[in-house]
A and B are shown apart, each in its own frame.
Chain A
Amino acid sequence: MKAFARLLDRLAFLSSRNAKLALLAAYFRETPDPDRGIALAALTGDLQLRTAKPKLIRDLVTERVDPELFGWSYDFVGDLAETAALIWPTGERNEAAVPGLAAAVDQLNRAHKDSAAKLVAEWLDVMDPAERWALLKLITGALRVGVSARLARTALADYGAVEVGAIEEVWHALTPPYAELFAWLDGRGPLPETRATPTFRPLMLANPLDEAELAKMQAADYRAEWKWDGIRVQLVAVRDAQGARVRRVYSRTGDDISTAFPDVVEALDFEAVLDGELLVVRDGQAAPFADLQQRLGRKRVSAKMLQSQPAHVRLYDMLFDGEEDLRALPLDARRGRLEHWYGAADRPRLDLSPLLDFESWEELADLRAGAREAGIEGLMLKRADSPYLAGRPKGPWFKWKRDPLLVDAVLMYAQRGHGKRSSFYSDYTFGCWRRREGRDELVPVGKAYFGFTDEELGQLDRWVRAHTTQRFGPVREVEQALVFEVAFDAVQRSTRHKSGIAMRFPRISRIRWDKPAAEADWLPTLEAMIEGARG
């Protein structure tokens, strides 16, 4: 645990990517199995660990520390796990009693629910503050040390002096603590075998389009299609070593979501790996995202749900045809293979994402401007000659989203941010006006992080502190006096929100210091923007 704690402690402060890579590679070199593999899983988000709620930490600490001292401390530090790690009363640090990382994870996973808290408390007693912080961040599932899964795997590749692509390729077939992978990187074993196990292949992702770049791009070099507003999936249908069919639906990050979509799985009666968008489709029409949302995150789906919200995959690309890997082929060739394959049999619950006809960027811009119907987020531009590459390579693919929708909303609550911003009030809840029982009132319509310069963040932070009307833990209620211009991609009906609506991807685009709160927008303005609201 000590080495892991030191690693996190340094990662949290290093800003340069190269420095992080060097630090991680050194950690992999100096740390034995299985600890290094567990640490890797923690960084890539692949660690299976029964997590604890922040309340558990709060309870453990307040049992041991004077509540007023704790309150002042938490207010100063701004982070619960960090406050707990620092304030925890200790006697002598007992290094021998501190469990290793893998041992700690293992014991926690095997512990009975009621004894887990006791176990954690015993460890905290013998740890130093850095170790306590690491343990608490780990069990609350909030490492936030500025390392993406991709960066962690790149460091692993540096450590083994191999291409990161080789690791990406086998990654999703492996599980922590990755002993065979490390054996291969250390030159003690073969590259882990992934064939014949259904394996998620890393997706190819697009970069946002900088419209100024269009002038330098030749329209003829690109293919365009709609960017469908569902969730990106990979369909994997293979046969295992015994010849039995294995069928999986993976999310964009490689999570197996097959059990939530038995209707799609049933349709995978072929051998191929396909890339597409999961949507709810009725009569060939994509439904708004809200319909799909009802089917996400469920362990089991009712027959009624299967009927009312039928799932469907709109195909973009073909990665494998049978056992043949198509990824090195140019996009046009893969598209040809996809169309041929699609036409060769009846393919229920699947269709092809159509290619759009355009000869100039102006034509395409017109198409994009006209696209306001449900299920479309914007356009995708893909170079016709692009091979299918893992990750988000610079250049070949672009997403060109619809222009955002805008409303003016009033700041209602502010909360301290995380990480670098933990000492600033940088998360904001804002509302729009509605008339209720003869009175005008604000109702919250969304929540967004701050997206401006440090200077503006400082101004807002000071404004929040100076206009606080009430405090609830880390949240401050403020005077209803400051207007934000909020940009968002879409708005949907929602039964979970008091306002009855939910914004998709809200962000604060401007602070309207000039605008009186009374002139902010009304809820009906937002309701009129709901997809499909206009007949």
Chain B
Amino acid sequence: MDAHSKAVQRWLKVTPAGLYCEAGDFHIDPARAVPRAVITHGHGDHARPGHGAVLATQETLAIMRTRYDGDDGRSSQALAYGETVRLGDVSVELRPAGHVLGSAQIVLAHGGKRVVVSGDYKRRRDPTCPPFEPVDCDVFITEATFGLPVFRHPPDDQEIDKLLASQRLFPERCHLVGVYGLGKAQRVIMLLREAGYTAPLFIHGALEKLCKLYGDFGVDLSELLPATAADKAELQGQIVLAPPGAANQSWARRLPDPVVGMASGWMGVRARARQRGAELPLIISDHADWDELTQTFADVAAPTIWVTHGREEALVHYARQQGHDAWALSVAGREDEDE
């Protein structure tokens, strides 16, 4: 192992509960309840309930309260992007990760080394959150959800055009788009708005609270109507957003002959899109694609890269070819991203 990794591993360790910063006595995105946690963002595999103290952006804390019935830890501390706090012997700073509302990279400094735990991130513009900021560091810990060079997400507007073209082609049907409730739903709504789609959008009940929360933080999603309250005739020709899987539930019977779409980075690979039963795959992702991942390695200028959370082998291989020291880090509690 390289010198940077050796030095950092003395105070930042992989434990069964997840990444643990010994010098500051806190976990990062732990897989189970711990006394002190620093949380990158509100997705379920990163933010879990039951912690003692939680440090995160105020958006992430609000998301946790919404999802976990008020639970953002017994005590919580909000930290704005760019602010620094000291935890034990470590200085901790949050910087935007561009993934979902409130998502942050955690910048740790200790013993002369700077480590960036990027959490989940992407590099392209997202109208619902500030963009990823590259931070120079000694060790960069990257996700690898789309860590194969076949993942090249197309421009978002092209995918939104696909949806609108399909709506024109099948005016008597409704379009049901599967979206994850945190981030993807709101992003797809904003992209539709930016494409000039001003009609009301219909949403599944499970998306309501988080859409409202985005609104409270100033993300204007414009008119949303509950799909549940609408009758069949009303939904003809409309776009309905629902959690993935809703298409196969009795809930979907209320929809007039829906064209089933799915917005996810996995849609870029045909076999995956078919497995999800998508008739209209939309390649819209909140995770960096291969080009964004590799661009980020160059931007953060880190001599050492730790790869976790997905397809590590190809990224490690690539990073080494580019002259980085790179290692796969296996952290508990991370499956393939449901994205």
A residues with CB within 8 A of B: 6, 10, 12-15, 19, 22-23, 26, 65-66, 68-69, 72-73, 76-79, 82-83, 86-87, 128-129, 419-420, 422-423
Q: Are A13 and B149 in contact (CB under 8 A)?
A: no
CB-CB < 8 A to B149: which residues of A?
65, 69, 73, 86-87
Q: With contacts A22-B170, A83-B150, A423-B275 known, is A72 near B313, CB below 8 A? A: yes
Identify the closest chain B residue to A65 (Cβ). B149
Query: Nearest-CB distance from A27 to chain B (Å)?
Result: 10
Q: With contacts A13-B279, A23-B169 known, is A422 near B150, CB below 8 A? A: no
B residues with CB within 8 A of A: 148-152, 154, 162, 166, 169-170, 259, 268-275, 278-281, 311, 313-314, 317-318, 321
Q: Are B152 and A13 in contact (CB under 8 A)?
A: no
CB-CB < 8 A to A15: which residues of B?
279
CB-CB < 8 A to A66: which residues of B?
317-318, 321
CB-CB < 8 A to B321: which residues of A?
66
Q: Can you spell out 7 A-B residue pairs with CB atoms less than 8 angstroms apart?
A: A22-B169, A69-B317, A73-B148, A77-B269, A419-B274, A422-B271, A423-B275
Q: With contacts A15-B279, A19-B259, A66-B321 known, is A76 near B148, CB below 8 A? A: yes
Q: With contacts A19-B259, A22-B170, A23-B169 known, is A129 near B152, CB below 8 A? A: yes
C-alpha gap A189/B303 in the complex (Å): 70
C-alpha gap A73/B311 in the complex (Å): 10
Given pairs A66-B318, A77-B270, A419-B274, 9 additional interface contacts (CB within 8 A)? A10-B166, A14-B279, A19-B170, A65-B149, A73-B150, A73-B314, A77-B269, A83-B150, A86-B149
Q: With contacts A13-B278, A87-B149 known, is A72 near B270, CB below 8 A? A: no
Q: Are A129 and B154 in contact (CB under 8 A)?
A: yes
Q: Are B150 and A76 in contact (CB under 8 A)?
A: yes
Q: With contacts A13-B274, A69-B318 known, is A86 near B170, CB below 8 A? A: no
Query: Nearest-CB distance from A84 to chain B (Å)?
Result: 9
Identify the closest chain A residue to B318 (Cβ). A69
Identify the closest chain A residue to B272 (Cβ). A423
C-alpha gap A82/B274 in the complex (Å): 14
C-alpha gap A12/B280 in the complex (Å): 10
Q: Are B313 and A79 in contact (CB under 8 A)?
A: no
Q: With contacts A19-B259, A69-B317, A129-B154 known, is A13 near B148, CB below 8 A? A: no
Q: Are A72 and B148 in contact (CB under 8 A)?
A: yes
List the count of A-B residue pairs having beta carbons below 8 Å apart: 72
Q: Are B271 and A79 in contact (CB under 8 A)?
A: yes
Partner of A79, one of B170, B270, B275, B281: B270
Q: Which of A15, A23, A68, A86 has the most CB of B within 10 A?
A: A86
Q: Which of B166, B270, B317, B318 has the most CB of A within 10 A?
A: B270
Q: Are B269 and A76 in contact (CB under 8 A)?
A: yes
Q: Are B154 and A423 in contact (CB under 8 A)?
A: no
CB-CB < 8 A to A6: which residues of B?
162
Q: Which of A13, A68, A422 has the most CB of B within 10 A?
A: A13
Identify the closest chain B residue to A19 (Cβ). B170
Partner of A82, one of B152, B269, B280, B314: B269
C-alpha gap A8/B277 in the complex (Å): 17
CB-CB < 8 A to A76: which residues of B?
148, 150, 269, 311
C-alpha gap A72/B270 in the complex (Å): 16
Q: Are A26 and B169 in contact (CB under 8 A)?
A: yes
Q: Are B318 and A77 in contact (CB under 8 A)?
A: no
Q: With contacts A13-B279, A77-B150, A129-B152 known, is A69 near B314, CB below 8 A? A: yes
CB-CB < 8 A to A14: which residues of B?
279
Instruction: State the 8 A-B residue pairs at the shortest beta-carbon distance, nearest first.
Output: A86-B150, A423-B271, A73-B150, A422-B271, A87-B149, A72-B314, A73-B148, A13-B279
Q: Which of B150, B162, B275 has the most CB of A within 10 A?
A: B150
C-alpha gap A347/B311 in the complex (Å): 70
Identify the closest chain B residue to A416 (Cβ). B271
Query: Nearest-CB distance from A459 to chain B (Å)?
Result: 16
Q: With contacts A13-B278, A15-B279 known, is A68 near B317, CB below 8 A? A: yes
Q: Which of A69, A420, A422 has the most CB of B within 10 A?
A: A69
CB-CB < 8 A to B317: which residues of A?
66, 68-69
CB-CB < 8 A to B270: which residues of A?
12, 77, 79, 82, 422
CB-CB < 8 A to B311: which residues of A?
72, 76
Partner of B281, one of A13, A69, A83, A422: A13
Query: Nearest-CB distance from B259 to chain A (Å)?
Result: 7
CB-CB < 8 A to A73: which residues of B?
148-150, 314
Q: Are B169 and A86 in contact (CB under 8 A)?
A: no
CB-CB < 8 A to B148: which residues of A?
69, 72-73, 76
C-alpha gap A129/B313 in the complex (Å): 24
CB-CB < 8 A to B150: which residues of A?
73, 76-77, 83, 86-87
Q: Are A420 and B170 in contact (CB under 8 A)?
A: no
CB-CB < 8 A to B170: which residues of A?
19, 22
C-alpha gap A73/B279 in the complex (Å): 24
Identify the closest chain A residue to B150 (Cβ). A86
Query: Nearest-CB distance from B166 to chain A (Å)?
Result: 8
C-alpha gap A249/B311 in the complex (Å): 56
Identify the closest chain A residue to B257 (Cβ). A16
CB-CB < 8 A to A23: which residues of B?
169
